[in-house]
């Protein structure tokens, strides 16, 4: 075991996969200069052909990654900030997500599109998006959104080896957090969630950085005698519905914590899954703790309170647990 | 010759360049002190590009810019108080504290946005030019974009649209030699962005971006052409940014070669100051302008500091015409 940061986990996953398979290469804006620390020493180790700086043309180079994948390469695209996926929506949604299907299984697109969720630091609306749920609505794209270094590394390695296109959403609130990561071959299969904390009164399902806020809230709730279970789906497509349902069947209550905007968020999908499949087990309404449906402002004083917080989760937990207590026997 | 008149356009050019330089020097300092949140992308070194271009525009002409947004509004004549207040995230900021450093856009001065998604201003510019034309206004729309942005499809699409419809638009590529860490030559095919004009069948002009008069002359010609209904022009100002991609990041992204010093020697404000002195303006007059501007900047900062932050409810304004609902559970902890 080694204690490394989330960013180091990304770096190691990329490094190991590039060493293992020479079809893997990386491209994106300013990857050689290693802006966020995920390509440290890569040009020396792998050469400039496999570590490519691109023009600022997301639709071009993300689409080109799809083309390279179709002919046998396994590109990792570093799209930096997830808001910059929007100019590439055309290639991602019309080509990358659909080529296997539309050509009846003839096309194979093993590529990874990485980008970070860059919110909470006064970067204003055009840089602060958490757009994974928009892509969840597009079949054909697998989506990972890990919350800790260990999961990040294991999932990114699985993503590189996947024969399907994978979008990796990397929450910048997790970047510097350190975590024990197993040495050697560490792969986490796509589609497998994780119980981050066991509990019996309420299930809190966190998405990306929302998991860490949920874990803090669970600690606070413990002081009040409320035992919270925290589930991290880790992969949003495919979603580990069974793990979530098992937990909710046990606790009878669920709160979905998601830094995305509320409407059609990952939290909405998780909530619907619970209501459709575990309604009989529910003792209280399923609640979402998300970012409200407004844009993110620059001014920090009004930006910060918009995201899911420990206080909001604790309130939600009190509400759902209280619902049970006030019910007639 | 009388040189100190308020309305002397030569002095106005000097004033606006100085205003940008001093405004940003102050901003950079207080950003380092933690008074300005977020990232700060400075325009220092590029003042002649913005001011030269804007001096060729009328107040009611439109302008679209980018993330390096401090220079453009000041070049077009915007007041400093709301700009500084915006940097501090105050309610009195030009964008009510919603936009910050990457979005200093003063619509009262004809701005249609300083947009931080690289290249995204191209189509807006074509659309504004179309709107002006359809409404019979003789206004033009000018787009500032970087060399890096020239690789975005949106820039190409905007220029092609403007060309095919003969719209009154001017596309000004401010080529400051880098996009973040990447030299233009590694990211932009062909020697000059302006050469692409040939493909659209419109004039492509290369101009010394450190010479405010040269930029103004080139843009003036393009504006005249646009107003006369003859369509758009692509102008490339060859310029240089002194600061790193964004300042105070604790790490330099932009590699600097020996030419850095040569560029700094060709400082646009120094060049223009010298030219004014040769034309008979006195050092004392120019020093007086510098002093007045220092006072303006100090006043703007005081105003910004004295201003209130927006209240939480305002985070829900301007998504739509009407305020969007504020969830009670969020409001409870704001
Ligand atoms: C669509 C998009 N991709 C990437 C970025 C990140 N980014 C911000 S500024 C910048 C460089 C822009 O270069 P250029 O257009 O030459 O303008 P300069 O910063 O040099 O003034 C990049 C890559 C962005 N903001 N938007």
Rounded-to-10 torsion of CA A262, A268, A269, A275: 180
Among B49, B179, B254, the mutation site with the greatest number of ligand 1 atoms within 8 A of its Cβ is: B179
Please work out whether the CB of residue B115 comes within 6 Å of at least one atom of ligand 1. no
Atom of ligand 1 nearest to the CA of B245: 19
Query: What residues in B contact A124, CB-CB < 8 Å?
Result: 38, 98-100, 102-103, 116
Tell me, what's the pLDDT at B2? 44
Average pLDDT of the segment spanning A68-84: 98
Q: Any idea which residues of A carry the catalytic annotation? A: 127
Q: Do B180 and A30 touch (CB under 8 A)?
A: yes
Among B24, B44, B45, B67, the mutation site with the greatest number of ligand 1 atoms within 8 A of its Cβ is: B67
Tell me, what's the pLDDT at B6? 73
Express each pLDDT in A215-253 by its tens digit: 999 999 999 999 999 999 999 999 999 999 999 999 999
Tell me, what's the pLDDT at A226? 98
* Cβ atoms of B48 and B215 closer than 8 Å: yes
Name all domains of chain A by residue range, CATH numbers in brackets. 2-181 (3.40.50.970), 194-321 (3.40.50.920)
Tell me, what's the pLDDT at A183? 86
Q: Do B119 and A293 touch (CB under 8 A)?
A: no
State the DSSP H helix or E strand holding residue A168, giving kind and residue range, or none if neither.
strand A166-171
Distance CA B197, CA B194 (A): 6
Tell me, what's the pLDDT at A323? 59
Q: Do A57 and B102 touch (CB under 8 A)?
A: no
Residue with tokens 């998780």: A270
* Cβ atoms of A156 and A168 closer than 8 Å: yes
- Burial level of A276, CB count in 10 A (0-12/13-18/19+)? exposed
- B334 at interface of A, judged by CB pairs closer than 8 A: yes
Tell me, what's the pLDDT at B7? 85
B9-250+273-307: CATH number:
3.40.50.970
Closest C-alpha among A166, A192, A139 to residue A79: A166
Give yes or no for residue A324 having a pLDDT over 60: no
Tell me, what's the pLDDT at B4? 52
Distance CA A81, CA A236 (A): 19
Please work out whether the CB of residue A67 comes within 6 Å of at least one atom of ligand 1. no
Closest C-alpha among B300, B185, B238, B191 to residue B46: B238
Radius of gyration, CA atoms only, chain B: 20
Where do the structural domains in chain B lie, given as residue ranges?
9-250+273-307
Which residues 294-323 of B have a C-beta within 8 angstroms of A?
Answer: 309-312, 314-316, 319
Give yes or no for residue A92 having a pLDDT over 50: yes
pLDDT digits (tens), chain B, 334 positions: 444 567 899 999 999 999 999 999 999 999 999 999 999 999 999 999 999 999 999 999 999 999 999 999 999 999 999 999 999 999 999 999 999 999 999 999 999 999 999 999 999 999 999 999 999 999 999 999 999 999 999 999 999 999 999 999 999 999 999 999 999 999 999 999 999 999 999 999 999 999 999 999 999 999 999 999 999 999 999 999 999 999 999 889 999 999 999 999 999 999 999 999 999 999 999 999 999 999 999 999 999 999 999 999 999 999 999 999 999 999 999 9
* Cβ atoms of B22 and B74 closer than 8 Å: no
Q: How many pairs of residues across A and B have Cβ atoms under 8 Å apart?
A: 144
Radius of gyration, CA atoms only, chain A: 20
Express each pLDDT in A123-176 by its tens digit: 999 999 999 999 999 999 999 999 999 999 999 999 999 999 999 999 999 999
Taking the centre of ligand 1 as the mean of its atom positions, its distance from the CA of residue B36, in whole angstroms, is 21
Tell me, what's the pLDDT at A43? 97
Give yes or no for residue A325 having a pLDDT over 90: no
- B19 at interface of A, judged by CB pairs closer than 8 A: no
Please work out whether the CB of residue B68 comes within 6 Å of at least one atom of ligand 1. yes
Q: Do A84 and B149 touch (CB under 8 A)?
A: no
Tell me, what's the pLDDT at B5? 65
Query: What residues in B contact A123, CB-CB < 8 Å?
Result: 38-39, 100, 102
* Chain A nearest CA to B290, separation (Å): 31
Tokens of residue A165, six digits: 């296109």
Q: Which alpha helices (H) appear in chain B, and where do they start and end?
A: 9-32, 47-55, 71-76, 80-87, 121-134, 153-164, 184-187, 197-200, 212-227, 259-265, 268-278, 283-306, 328-331
* Cβ atoms of A86 and A54 closer than 8 Å: no
């Amino acid at each position: 075991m080694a204690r490394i940061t989330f960013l180091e986990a990304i770096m190691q996953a990329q490094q190991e996969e590039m060493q293992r398979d020479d079809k893997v290469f990386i491209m994106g804006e300013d990857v050689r200069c290693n802006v966020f620390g995920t390509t440290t020493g890569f040009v020396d180790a792998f050469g400039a052909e496999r570590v490519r700086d691109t023009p600022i043309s997301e639709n071009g180079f993300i689409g080109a990654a799809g083309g390279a994948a179709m002919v046998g390469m396994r590109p990792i695209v570093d799209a930096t900030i997830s808001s910059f996926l929007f100019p590439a929506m055309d290639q991602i949604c019309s080509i990358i997500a659909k080529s296997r299907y539309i050509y009846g299984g003839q096309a194979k697109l093993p590529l990874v599109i990485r980008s970070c969720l860059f919110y909470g630091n006064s970067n204003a609306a055009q840089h602060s998006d958490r757009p994974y749920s928009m892509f969840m609505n597009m079949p054909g794209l697998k989506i990972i959104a890990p919350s800790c270094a260990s999961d990040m590394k294991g999932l990114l390695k699985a993503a590189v080896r996947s024969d399907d296109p994978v979008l990796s959403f990397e929450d910048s609130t997790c970047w510097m957090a350190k975590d024990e990561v197993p040495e050697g071959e560490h792969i986490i299969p796509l589609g497998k969630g994780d119980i981050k904390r066991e509990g019996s009164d309420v299930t809190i399902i966190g998405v990306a950085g929302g998991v860490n806020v949920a874990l803090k809230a669970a600690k606070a709730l413990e002081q009040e005698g409320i035992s919270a279970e925290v589930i991290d789906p880790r992969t949003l497509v495919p979603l580990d519905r069974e793990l979530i349902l098992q937990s909710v069947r046990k606790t009878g209550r669920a709160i979905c914590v998601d830094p995305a905007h509320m409407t059609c968020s990952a939290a909405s999908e998780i909530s619907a899954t619970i209501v459709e499949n575990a309604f009989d087990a529910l003792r209280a309404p399923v609640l979402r703790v998300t970012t409200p449906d407004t844009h993110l402002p620059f001014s920090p004083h009004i930006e910060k309170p918009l995201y899911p917080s420990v206080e909001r989760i604790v309130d939600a937990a009190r509400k759902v647990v209280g619902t049970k207590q006030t019910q007639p026997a | 010759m009388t040189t100190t008149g308020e309305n002397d356009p030569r002095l106005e050019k000097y004033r606006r360049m100085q205003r940008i330089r001093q405004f940003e020097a102050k901003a950079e300092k207080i950003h380092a002190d933690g008074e300005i949140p977020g990232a700060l992308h400075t325009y220092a070194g590029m003042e002649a590009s913005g001011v030269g271009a804007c001096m060729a525009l009328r107040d009611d002409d439109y302008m679209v810019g980018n993330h390096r947004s401090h220079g453009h509004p000041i070049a077009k004549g915007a007041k400093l108080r709301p700009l500084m207040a915006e940097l501090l995230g105050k309610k009195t900021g030009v964008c009510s504290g919603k936009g910050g450093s990457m979005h200093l856009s003063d619509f009262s001065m004809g701005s249609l946005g300083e947009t931080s998604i690289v290249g995204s201003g191209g189509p807006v510019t074509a659309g504004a030019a179309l709107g002006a034309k359809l409404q019979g206004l003789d206004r033009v729309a000018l787009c500032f974009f970087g060399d890096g942005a020239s690789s975005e499809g949106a820039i190409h699409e905007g220029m092609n649209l403007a060309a095919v419809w003969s719209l009154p638009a001017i596309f000004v590529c401010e080529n400051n030699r880098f996009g973040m860490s990447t030299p233009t030559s590694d990211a932009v095919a062909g020697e000059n962005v302006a050469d692409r004009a040939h493909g659209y069948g419109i004039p492509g002009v290369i101009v010394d971006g450190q010479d405010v008069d040269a930029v103004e002359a080139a843009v003036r010609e393009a504006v005249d052409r646009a107003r006369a209904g003859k369509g758009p022009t692509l102008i490339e100002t060859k310029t240089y940014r002194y600061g790193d991609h964004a300042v105070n990041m604790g790490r330099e992204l932009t590699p600097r070669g020996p030419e850095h010093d040569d560029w700094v020697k060709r400082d646009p404000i120094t060049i223009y100051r010298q030219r004014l002195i040769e034309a008979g303006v006195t050092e004392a007059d120019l020093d007086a302008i510098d002093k007045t501007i220092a006072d303006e900047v100090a006043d703007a900062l005081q105003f910004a500091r004295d201003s209130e932050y927006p209240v939480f409810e305002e985070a829900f304004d301007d998504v739509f015409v009407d305020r969007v609902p504020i969830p009670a559970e969020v409001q409870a902890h704001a």
